Amino acid sequence: MGSSSAAPWKQLLLSSIQANSHLKHYSYFQLATVASNGRPSNRTVVFRGFQDDGDKILINTDNRSRKIDELKHCPFAEICWYFTESWEQFRINGSVDVIDGTNPDPVKLEQREKSWFACSPKSRLQYMAPTPRLPSLSELPSEIPSMDPSIGPVAAFCLLILDPAQIDYLNLKSNERLIFTSGLSSDGKKLWTSEKVNP
Amino acid sequence: MGSSSAAPWKQLLLSSIQANSHLKHYSYFQLATVASNGRPSNRTVVFRGFQDDGDKILINTDNRSRKIDELKHCPFAEICWYFTESWEQFRINGSVDVIDGTNPDPVKLEQREKSWFACSPKSRLQYMAPTPRLPSLSELPSEIPSMDPSIGPVAAFCLLILDPAQIDYLNLKSNERLIFTSGLSSDGKKLWTSEKVNP
């Protein structure tokens, strides 16, 4: 068991990303939330990197999707990220900050805008599509919309920022498992402890 | 929108399994549950097939793992199964029956025994390993245990049977999404309705 102020699991995760980066799906993971009826929800989302140089994880989503209501009801989520090439699993749980265009914090709105412009013009278009999960009314493919690439985030664009509290790392090749847990140091800084546990 | 007594999503899922079966990880999916503190949990598990000819999904697990307590607290789960080759996602939610060796129902115990013998001798050995998630005390690899292949399920072996209530199918190549929902017909049989919705 050791402790550290830098996130010791982050280097492990960056190595896994590197080892699996030749696979198209390497950046996909599953995000579990809890619905207002107390039941679990689970869906695949795309890793959009870390916030600045920290350990908070960025995810883009549609403000009209069910996960938004779920996260407003229960702000906790668990990522399960399985790397198919290296046989490694990261279970990352923490609280999620939901940042849409109505957020009162200018710093957060700036981060949302930064994430919007980091998206490809093609992926920005999906936020102009009809409301997810509503009945599909047309048999015909809808008109392909176009968007001025200089236009800022549209109303449906929402940024999620997951602040990790615990990481459960499992390596199925070496059969090793590590649990990383965050706490606070005496001066109020995030401090990580790690422990080797049975797989 | 249509309705059917046979599970119409099952053929779709079997086709995806077929299309992805050359990949080692095709049978892995993520199972989300809710912990007793109300927060979500998420981990990768292995698809062990359907029960008999029905639509219930079999999963093997260790009776000492946290998901058992979670499922006893909240019996609902959501599977997220993403097929990396065909770009299809199945979100399958339903209730989970937890069947360990203390189950009073002889039919369920028989199903548990059947699932045990369907495991490879090597995968049966993991249920003899030290308790998952407890501190790993030894720096040395533990002795490789051996097991008489004719011996029935050990105490740690637990069968989960998920009874699907709703399936949310998304195809990222065709950009199509279908929701399958179960209900009951007038004679008490499970009846499936399906609806095409916006992706």
Type of residue at B99: I
Q: Are B84 and B172 in contact (CB under 8 A)?
A: no
For A168, residues 6+ apart whose C-beta sits below 8 A from its C-beta are A89, A90, A91, A177, A178, A179
The answer to whether the CB atoms of B40 and A33 lie below 8 A apart is yes
DSSP state of B72: H
Please tell me the distance from the alpha carbon of residue A197 to that of residue A167, in angstroms, as a whole number: 12
Q: What is the pLDDT of residues A43-66, one digit of tens each?
A: 999 999 999 989 999 999 999 999
CA-nearest residue to B136 within chain A is A197
For B137, residues 6+ apart whose C-beta sits below 8 A from its C-beta are none
What is the mean pLDDT of the segment spanning A104-116?
Answer: 98
Chain B residues whose C-beta is within 8 A of a chain A C-beta are: 23-25, 28, 30-34, 38-44, 74, 76-80, 82, 84, 89, 91, 93, 129-136, 177, 179, 195-199
How far does the CA of residue B76 sit from the closest CA of chain A (Å)? 6
How many C-beta neighbours within 10 Å does residue B34 have? 26
The answer to whether the CB atoms of B134 and A198 lie below 8 A apart is yes
Which DSSP string corresponds to B80-146?
A: EEEETTTTEEEEEEEEEEEE-TT-S-HHHHHHHHHHHHHS-HHHHHGGGSSPTTSB---SSPPP---
Query: Minimal CA–CA distance to A92: which of A170, A159, A23, A19?
Result: A170
Please tell me the distance from the alpha carbon of residue B112 to that of residue A137, in angstroms, as a whole number: 45
Q: What is the mean pLDDT of chain A?
A: 95
Helix, strand, coil content of chain B in percent (nearest 5): 25, 40, 40
The tens place of each residue's pLDDT in chain B, 199 residues long, gives 567 767 899 999 999 999 999 999 999 999 999 999 999 999 999 999 999 989 999 999 999 999 999 999 999 999 999 999 999 999 999 999 999 999 999 999 999 999 999 999 999 999 999 999 999 987 666 666 788 999 999 999 999 999 999 999 999 999 999 999 999 999 999 999 999 999 9
Domains and CATH numbers, chain B: 7-130+153-176 (2.30.110.10)
Classified as helix, coil or strand, A143 is coil
In chain B, residues with a C-beta closer than 8 Å to the C-beta of A195 are 135
The answer to whether the CB atoms of A28 and B129 lie below 8 A apart is no
Classified as helix, coil or strand, A120 is coil
